[in-house]
Amino acid sequence: MLDLTISATDGMARTGAITIRSGIIDTPAFMPVGTQASVKSLTPEEVRATGAQIILNNAYHLYLRPGVELVEQLGGVHRFQAWDGGILTDSGGYQIFSLSALHKVSEEGLAFKSHIDGSEHFMSPEKAIEVQQRLGTDILMSFDQPIPWGASRHETHEATQRTHRWAQRGKDAWNPAVGQALFGIVQGGFAEDLRRESAQTLTALDFPGYSIGGLSVGEPKEVMWQMLEVVTPVLPANKPRYLMGVGTPSDLVRGIRLGVDMFDCVLPTRMGRNGTAFTWAGRLNLRNAQFATDAGPLDAVCTCAVCQTFSRAYLRHLLKAGEILAIRSLSYHNLAFYQQLMARIRTEITAGSFLAWADTFLKSYKE
């Protein structure tokens, strides 16, 4: 079950809502990353309090630990992690390539060793869908073969064509009657013609939604935007567009300006764990000595509980002392900031002022 309603547009940017079986997701939307069924350091109630309506889990990690059987036995991933909002799962193709000792890429799928214990596994497009459906998530991803920056055209073409064949096989294995939506993943590396071909091929397969993969993998930012400019106009206007693994606040603004509806990224929580806060004025590194006596909040504009409660000086003290509350507070604030950014963007699109606002934001925001 998935339905996209567009309520307003400004250029290619659009705002509206995606209806899934777990509820309604306002778009554009940012999904906090809960790789192993947990958004690091935060409770489900805290994640919800930041404004998040949907989170991302990773099927590769949950398949290896604790295992699909256990999650299924305990009532599915929503009940398992006590999260009643939306859940999207990545199929695991990227993680198999980046984390595991890869054995073999074949037409049938990927043979690999677990990065946890070295055990041997095999993942096919059909099994990737089965795993995600058994986990009980709301939005599933097709199984794809990611293409690294620097790959040859021949390698890129072969991997992209395999991704298309795997997409068809995964779609054939998917059971839409359960109510879970399936997204195809656009690949094509960094060649405009292959990117366009991939978007066209997947569009012809008529998925409920479309992910744009294989970007933000080491390529220059201008190349990423060039590829996105090629892809988004090809994808159906009545289906969600999801840019995977991106990114900074400026990345989100640029992606939305090019017609993207959904994003995920580990950056807000990862940077929070490293002592960095995102604010409307840019990044703020609390480890800097200048904040040692600063009685102000992380961000005077932010309405989150951290900014309403703690000073920069106190949070810096917690960081220097190695207190867990520092990590939790900065992670919470950063996720709340991202959700406030999305809400502001939705307001600007509705008012027809987003393009002008985006220009101002991108010129002034310090990353």
Q: Round to whole Å and give the CA distance between 257 and 245.
A: 17
**Which parts of the chain register pLDDT below 70?**
100-102
Q: Is the pTM of the predicted complex or chain greater than 0.85?
A: yes
Which residue numbers are catalytic? 90, 264
| pLDDT tens, residue by residue, 316-325 | 999 999 999 9
Domain 30-265: give its CATH code: 3.20.20.105
What is the per-residue DSSP string for 231-280? HTTTS-TTS-EEETTB--HHHHHHHHHTT--EEE-SHHHHHHHTTEEEET
Query: How many of the other CB atoms lie within 10 Å of CB of 352?
Result: 12
Boundaries of every domain in the chain: 30-265, 272-339+343-359
- Give the pLDDT of residue 279: 98
CA nearest to 181, candidates 139, 242, 121: 139
At residue 93, the pLDDT reads: 83
Q: What is the mean pLDDT of the chain?
A: 96
